[in-house]
Amino acid sequence: MQRSDLKTTKRWVVKIGSALLTNDGKGLNREALARWVEQMVELKKQGVEVVLVSSGSVAEGMKRLGWETRPKLLNELQAAASVGQMGLIQAYESKFSRFDIHSAQILMTHDDLSNRKRYLNVKNAIETLLEYGVVPIINENDTVVTDEIRFGDNDTLAALTANLISADVLVILTDQKGLYNDNPRENPKAELISEAQVSRKDIEAMASPEGGALGKGGMYTKVMAAKRAARSGTATLIASGHADNVLPRLFNGDSEGTLLVPDLEPLTARQQWLAGHLQAKGTLVLDEGAVKVLRSSGKSLLPIGVKSMRGNFQRGEMVVCYDESGHEVARGLINYSFIEANQIAGHPSQAIESILGFIEDESLIHRDNMVLCE
């Protein structure tokens, strides 16, 4: 994809971060929010379906509760998010309604996307809202979320949303102009990267892993989000939300921000779902032969190729496979519990029934329930 192609795209996911939406943590910047709503309305006039992933609920909740610093205790974060979500959605609803456009709130946790049935339900709900011209506003359900079911940051949530609905473009609006070849806060000679293929290994090294006081992201999470979005063939634009009329200008192909182009074969819908599992219940270490078979032949993982394992997984849960050097090879849904898998590891498939007294499948992970890592 080139910038000139952006004008032909039809479905965008737009993510706006906390640094843009808040007044230094003192609640929402409603004037700025109104400007982005106007820009999204302009996209809709051009025939673009828009899905919004918005931060800001915790910061708004902090203001309403009179808190000066972001809380660290989970229950206080949940309370702030719960109070702040009311203000965030009210603000968006009032701004969109000026243009006779409805918005809808969708709160998700990782559990909603890791469960196949709920994943499809969320997908169908968003697709239906778009069909009726509604702007879905998506956020992590911070009121009930725990570390075990957390996306980690809204950049990741936005990328998984792009996968979910097969978006053409993911736009991540931030307080930086885009991706630089060095940290612009420390190096005034750092150069903005206008365009790059998402598979480039060096772009991860260029991205800072540090986020601001309010946000949990940083440029590194945005680069990783672009890599995740590329699974569905989605291009990612990282641009400054402070730039005038930035969304329509990006749509028209202006050289604003950084365009990260997907250059790998897109995954199937099921593979995208599998790859979107951020939390795994266990790990397997594979021998060299098994790694070679998975990477070259795309076959199922047999128990004979497993050297060791860790975790407390049950049948059908997600596990991650590593080679003996610690590099991730694949991840997938396992056919046996940890106790059962540990008993048959290193043995040929023909021995499964004699060891366990039954056989669910000849493979530990079937190829249809597995996705290989890049």
Q: What is the CATH number of the domain that holds 296?
A: 2.30.130.10
In order along its 374 residues, the chain shows pLDDT tens digits of 889 999 999 999 999 988 888 887 678 899 999 999 999 999 999 999 999 999 888 888 888 999 888 888 888 888 888 899 999 999 999 999 999 999 999 998 877 877 788 888 999 999 999 999 999 999 887 666 555 434 457 898 999 999 999 999 999 999 889 988 877 777 888 889 999 998 887 887 777 555 444 333 478 889 989 998 998 899 999 999 999 999 999 999 999 999 999 987 787 777 787 777 767 889 999 999 999 999 888 799 999 999 999 999 999 888 999 999 999 999 989 999 999 999 999 999 999 999 999 998 999 999 888 888 86
* AA identity, residue 55: S
Domain's final residue, options 218, 245, 271 = 271
- Kindly give, in sequence order, each residue whose CB lies less than 8 Å from that of residue 22, ignoring residues fewer than 6 positions away: 28, 29, 56, 59, 60, 214
Residue type, 118: R
| Total structural domains within the chain | 2
Regarding whether 267 and 185 lie in a shared domain, the answer is: yes
pTM for the model: 0.81
The CATH number given to whatever domain includes residue 41 is: 3.40.1160.10
- Cα 217 to Cα 208: distance, rounded to the nearest angstrom: 9
Q: Domain check: are 157 and 17 in the same one?
A: yes
Residue that finishes a domain, picked among 247, 271, 295: 271
Same domain, 288 and 263: no
Same structural domain for residues 300 and 225? no
Q: For residue 196, give its domain range.
A: 3-271
52 close to 14: Cβ distance less than 8 angstroms: yes
- Tokens standing for 235? 């291009």
Cα separation of 65 and 49, whole Å?
Answer: 35
Query: Do 245 and 311 belong to one domain?
Result: no
Enter the tokens of residue 141: 């359900």
Cα 164–8–108 angle (5° rounding)? 20
